[in-house]
Copies of this chain bind each other. A is one copy, B any other.
Amino acid sequence: MNIRCAIVGPTSYTALYLIEILLHHPSAKVTYLATQREALPNIADEFPQFRARCEMAGQPIDPAAIAAAADVAFLCLPHVASMQYAPKLLDAGLRVIDLSADYRLRDAAQYARVYGHAHEDVANLAAAVYGLPEFFAEQIKDADLVANPGCYPTAAALGIAPLLQRSLVKPTGIIINATSGVTGAGRSPKQPFHFPEANEAFSPYAPGIHRHQTEIEQTLRTIKGSPVNVLFVPHLLPVDRGILESIYLDPADDDVTEAELYEAFHDAYAEAPFVRVRKELPNIKWVRDSNYCDIAVRLVHAGGEPGADNDGIARKVIVFTAEDNMIKGASGQAVQNMNLMFGLDQTAGLK
Report which A residues bind B (CB closer than 8 A): 13, 23-24, 48-49, 51-53, 110, 113-114, 172-175, 177, 179, 181-183, 187-191, 193-211, 213-214, 217, 228-231, 233, 235, 237-242, 244, 246, 248, 276, 278, 280-290, 292, 294, 298, 300-308, 313-314, 316, 318, 320, 322, 351
**Residue of B with least CB distance to A300:** B208
Contact partners of A52 in chain B: CB under 8 A = 276, 292
- Chain B residues near A190 (CB, 8 Å)? 189
A300-B231, A316-B175 given; A196·B281 CB < 8 A: no
Q: Could you jot down 9 A-B contacts, CB within 8 Å?
A: A174-B302, A195-B198, A195-B199, A195-B240, A200-B288, A203-B282, A207-B318, A209-B306, A231-B302
The one of B238, B281, B351 in contact with A239, judged by C-beta atoms closer than 8 angstroms, is: B238
Assess whether B298 is in contact with A208, with CB atoms less than 8 Å apart: yes
CA distance A237 to B181 in the complex (A): 12
The 5 closest A-B pairs by CB, nearest first: A229-B303, A208-B300, A203-B283, A189-B189, A201-B285
Given A204-B320, A289-B289, A314-B173, are A351 and B23 neighbors across the interface (CB < 8 Å)? yes
- Report A54 CB to chain B, min CB distance, Å: 11
Cβ-neighbour of A193 out of B189, B231, B237, B307 (below 8 A): B189
- Stoichiometry, as copies per complex, reads 4
- Measured CB to CB, the closest approach of chain B to A49, in angstroms, equals 4
16 additional contacts (CB under 8 A) given A193-B194, A213-B306: A49-B286, A51-B278, A172-B314, A177-B177, A187-B194, A188-B194, A189-B189, A189-B190, A194-B194, A195-B195, A202-B285, A207-B320, A209-B307, A214-B305, A229-B314, A238-B238
Q: Are A110 and B305 in contact (CB under 8 A)?
A: yes
> In the complex, what residues of B have CB within 8 A of residue A173's CB?
302, 314
Report Cα–Cα, A210/B306, bound state, in Å.
7
